[in-house]
Amino acid sequence: DAKTTQPPSMDCAEGRAANLPCNHSTISGNEYVYWYRQIHSQGPQYIIHGLKNNETNEMASLIITEDRKSSTLILPHATLRDTAVYYCIVSDFLTGANSKLTFGKGITLSVRP
Amino acid sequence: NAGVTQTPKFQVLKTGQSMTLQCAQDMNHNSMYWYRQDPGMGLRLIYYSASEGTTDKGEVPNGYNVSRLNKREFSLRLESAAPSQTSVYFCASSQGPGSPLHFGNGTRLTVT
């Protein structure tokens, strides 16, 4: 799996958009970008994944640059409950070639009132 | 739906004792995984089972064994616990390769 780089922490104000960056400059053509989050020592929770097109679901949006070397997870209206560690993972997991995902240290998002 | 259920939630062992961590999922998923998480670290894969009847080593398999008992259950065994195995253990399942992982809430293990 390609390596990802995330800043260790960031914060944002409640109600504002939270934009979480991730660099993955060595991503290969068949690798997807996945985002998970972990709230207060609970098990990680799947958020979203994408290959090259931007993706949106009820939780978040994923913006992937055209060269695919970086991406941004956007939480459009952050709430206090969004305070968590967010993991950006790059893997060919989806193709079935790789049966596992590797989690790094993630970025700690703190949402302030 | 219960999702992924792990038992026990907490456990304290003495060095050299053995125990089995249990995991069960009710989502009819094919793949199951065991991860450990140490303070300030990401999750590291111990073992996984891509489908019923198969198991494979992950990043940190030493000191552990697993059993895919049936499609629902995937257990992790520590034969002779060591203080280095003090950690939070997470079980996860997915429909198959590429599908989102669903995690349990963890077993917090302390080995003294």
Q: pLDDT tens string for chain A (113 positions)? A: 568 999 999 999 999 999 999 999 998 888 889 999 999 879 999 999 998 989 999 999 999 999 999 999 999 999 999 999 999 998 876 555 455 677 888 999 999 99
| Residue A27, both tokens | 């991503």
Q: β-strands B107-111, B56-57: how paired? A: unpaired
Q: What is the mean pLDDT of residues B29-40?
A: 90
Nearest to B42 among A32, A95, A105 (CB): A105
Query: Tens digit of pLDDT for each residue in A39-49?
Result: 987 999 999 99
A-chain residue closest to B58, CA distance: A100
Angstroms from A42 CA to nearest CA on chain B: 5
Residues of A in contact with B102 (CB under 8 A): 46
The chain A residue lying nearest B54, using CA atoms, is A99
pLDDT at A32: 87
Chain B interface includes A8 (CB < 8 A): no
Identify the CA nearest to B33 among candidates B6, B63, B2: B6
Tokens of B105: 């809430």
